[in-house]
Amino acid sequence: MNVKNFLIGGIVGGIADFLMGWLLYGMLLKDFFPKPEGAAENLTFIFLGCMCFGFMMSFIFNQGEVISKCVPGVKLAIGIGLFMSLSMSFFNGMYSATLNWQLVAVDVLVSVVIAAIVGAVIAVTNGKLK
């Protein structure tokens, strides 16, 4: 594994994830996703979560043959984003008597779009670092 590609791709991917999350969840869909009463957003934890996602994607992209082209990066990221968001939606719904399937569907769709963009950014970054 190329450590330089992993580190730079992880940082760039994490920042892209944070910015896309802010745009989609924080601005465009902020009224669609309900917040628990009295809950406050902790931007530090949101940023750390985004950086972890960026480093996870960069780690996967830098195993074996480095993914350094946009289209293969998007394809791989869509799969990762789909299964990761489905998993998290099901875990988040474990305390609910009924699951809001519309909310789950929109969350999965938004997560896949964000993952695809993060994947494209990491792949292009890997290509530039070759």
pLDDT in tens, 47-57: 999 999 999 99
Six token digits for residue 129: 């670092």
Contacts 24+ apart (CB under 8 A), 101-109: 103/32, 103/33, 106/29, 106/32, 107/33, 108/82
Helices 70-92 and 101-129: angle between axes, nearest 10 degrees: 150
Question: Is the predicted pLDDT of residue 80 greater than 80, yes or no?
Answer: yes
- pLDDT-derived band at 95 (thresholds 50, 70, 90) equals confident
Q: Is 57 helix (H, G, I), strand (E, B) or coil?
A: helix
Name the more confident of 26 and 35: 26
Query: Would you say 9 and 125 are in contact if contact means Cβ atoms under 8 Å apart?
Result: yes
Domain assignments of the chain as residue spans, ordered by start: 3-129
* Coil/strand/helix, residue 113: helix
The per-residue pLDDT for 64 is 82
Closest of 47, 41, 79 to residue 61, by C-alpha: 79
Distance CA 91, CA 21 (A): 20
Single-letter code of the amino acid located at 38: G
Give residue-wise pLDDT tens across range 107-120: 999 999 999 999 99
Helical pair 43-61 and 101-129, crossing angle rounded to 10 deg: 60
Q: How many angstroms separate the CA atoms of 2 and 107, rounded? A: 33
Q: What is the pLDDT of residues 30-76, one digit of tens each?
A: 889 877 788 888 999 999 999 999 999 999 999 988 999 999 999 99
